[in-house]
Chains A and B, each alone.
Chain A
Amino acid sequence: MTARLPAALAALVLLLLLPLALRDYFLHIAVQVLLWGFIYTAWSMMGRFGLVSLGHGAFLGIGGYVPALLWNHYDLTPWLGIPLSVLLAALLALVVGYPATRMRVVGHYYALVTLALSQVVLLSMIALRDMTGGSLGMTPRSAGRASWYALQFPEKSEFYFLALALWLAGLALWLWLERSMGSKALEAINEDEGAAAAIGIDVMREKLRVTLISAGLTALGGGAYVQYLMYVNPETVSGVGVSLQIVFAAIAGGMYSLLGPTIGALLTIVLAEGLRVAFGTHFIGAANTIYGVLLVLFIIFMPRGIAGLVEGLLARPGRPAAAE
């Protein structure tokens, strides 16, 4: 335990110095890992308590599109647009989460309702093609230079620090949630909802709190992602595909650990990029084929993900990790 703080500080210094050492391409990958790591961390805040949402594509879509639309059509700075989209995502999470908790929609039903939710956002973005550009996507109007007002930074290294700060904030929130009473309450609810309610846990409040935080942060991540890429299309931020991608990366990395979701982001992005570089564009499907097989294997053999495996090994050196 005592070695943790110095190690974390050393890692932070390394992360701060990273832009000096990396070429643009690798820096681009680093920014992506940080941003997706943030989004996956946000998902795992509820996923690890059995609230397996396949609807985070909806919140990501709102975060991606709303600030860009407000900026392009109403000249509203992302400084207002992004918080607005975060509120909107939290509101949507409330509208669906309240009745879902009330009616005890859990497990399969919860997963499928949230999956429908992400389809709603995806199809709405396509249907509103006059404003959003439909399936072709849209580009936030460029400020032409680095601008705090427009939250646009053409230099990758500048955006890197922004992404790093966001990611660190996400980790801090994860830790805060982990140490709060709510975390214990949610564990109890996940084990047995009826029993948890019987000992006085406010099931509705605990579930909604973590759902709203997770949804809001996901929208925030979506906003940052679009400000970075300066491009958004419906499929990359909403719908079934991206919702499943979020769930899988979080699980593969390990949704029960602080760094698990980030490890998931690192693994999936490096795998995809590596296979893309290795095979070129001849085998467009190669990366995801391997990815799909890995996911199935992970869920069957390592439901706690890579981070869970490493923690198991560290906890009992020399012995295999405890089986789940």
Chain B
Amino acid sequence: MDIYLLEAVMNGVLLGGVLALLALGLNLIFGVVDVVWIAYAELVMCGMYAEWWLTDSAAWPVLAASAAAIAFVALLGVLVHLLVIAPILGSAPINQLLATGGLLFFLQSAATLLFGTDFRNLGLRLPVIEFGDIFISLSRLIAFVAALLGAAALYLFLSRSFLGTAIRAVAQDREIMGLMGVDQRRIYLLTSAIGGGLAGLAACLLLLQYDVHPYIGLTFGPITFMICVLGGLGNMIGGFVAAFIISQIIAIAGYYVSIEASYVLAFVVFIALVLLRPQGILGK
């Protein structure tokens, strides 16, 4: 097998980890609150800027800045729910999607206003590891492992803890859970905070590999929605599987043709799959 192709496949797997994390957050919010946050990738952008600013201007160590960035985006998630989603929770779902679209414009241009359009990065130089003839960058490996740990932690929380069980129960039947004495408002806020936190974690992992700029959300946002829909909106395991399928398409087609062509192919596959199987690849 071609060694460069193998490298592309490996990089695809590593990218898939971070995309899976993003898809998990978006799917969690959709499954529980029944809203698609079009601005989800812009929250990631906010997290990247927060971490960059803390390390660059406030001279914090990277790990502390990462923790603070995660907390910051979790808080943003709560604010998004309180300020944008809660007032229109009862109106047509498409209105909620569009309202977070307005938020997308706001966050993008607020970032331009605050930080300009320059590309920023942490200036970290992590070594490249050699496995036989394959080169894998350490930053991608760290991102992959951390993303899987984040996903595992979410899984444990949802399946083992009382609050996690309540969240899953609301996702299954919100009316009944209200009657059973579960405070939906609290569950929604908690879910938004967790969804935000996952975006924050993804932000820290992406900042290891990519520069941050105000429009970076447009690079990851559309793929994230695609992954969620492919997996079946709200279906977290489906989203997880779809993340790796999409990232392989991108990595392999990127290797054979060009990076834009690989994204075009991924989007076309997505459109075709949704039109053929609207319930998602794992749906019934």
**A: which residues have CB within 8 A of B?**
50, 52, 96, 99-100, 103-105, 107-109, 111-113, 115-117, 119-120, 123-124, 126-127, 239-241, 244, 247-248, 251, 283-289, 291-296, 298-300, 303
Contact = CB atoms under 8 A, between A and B. Distances in A.
A119 B267 contact: yes
Contact of A296 (B106, B113, B268): B106
Contacts of B275: 96, 99-100, 103, 105, 113
B69 interface: no
B221 interface: yes
A293 B103 CA distance: 7
Contact of B117 (A111, A116, A247, A284): A284
Contacts of A99: 275-276
Contacts of B226: 112, 116
A40 to B, nearest CB: 14
Contacts of B258: 127
B191 interface: no
B122 interface: no
B98 A109 contact: no
Contacts of A293: 102, 106
Contacts of B38: 244
B105 interface: yes
Interface residues of B, number: 49
A47 B79 CA distance: 29
A303 B106 CA distance: 18
A215 to B, nearest CB: 15
Contacts of A127: 258, 260-261, 264
A157 B140 CA distance: 56
A299 B99 contact: yes
Contacts of B263: 119, 123
B113 A292 contact: no
A295 B225 CA distance: 21
A69 B216 CA distance: 29
Contacts of A285: 108-114, 214
A130 to B, nearest CB: 11
A288 B98 contact: no
Interface of B: 36, 38, 84, 87-88, 91, 93-95, 97-99, 101-114, 116-117, 214, 218, 221-222, 225-226, 229, 233, 258, 260-261, 263-264, 267-268, 270-271, 274-276, 278
Contact of A111 (B97, B112, B116): B97
B278 A286 contact: no
Contact of B218 (A104, A240, A251): A240
Nearest to B38: A244
30 contacts: A52-B94, A99-B275, A104-B278, A105-B274, A105-B275, A108-B36, A109-B274, A112-B36, A113-B229, A113-B270, A116-B270, A119-B222, A120-B271, A248-B98, A248-B101, A251-B98, A285-B111, A286-B109, A289-B110, A292-B102, A292-B106, A292-B109, A293-B106, A294-B102, A296-B99, A296-B106, A299-B88, A300-B84, A300-B88, A303-B91
A284 B113 contact: yes
Contacts of A52: 94, 98
B264 A299 contact: no
Contact of B106 (A109, A123, A284, A289): A289
Contact of B97 (A108, A119, A126, A303): A108
A99 B95 CA distance: 24
A107 to B, nearest CB: 6
Contacts of B106: 288-289, 291-293, 295-296
Given A109-B229, A124-B264, A292-B103, 12 more contacts: A52-B94, A96-B275, A108-B93, A108-B97, A109-B233, A116-B271, A123-B263, A284-B112, A287-B109, A291-B109, A292-B104, A292-B108
Interface centre among B84, B91, B99 (most CB of A within 10 A): B99
Contacts of B112: 284-285, 288
Nearest to A301: B87
B231 to A, nearest CB: 12
A241 B87 contact: no
Q: Which 9 pairs show the lowest CB-CB distances between chains A and B?
A: A292-B106, A295-B102, A285-B112, A288-B109, A285-B113, A292-B105, A127-B260, A285-B109, A99-B275
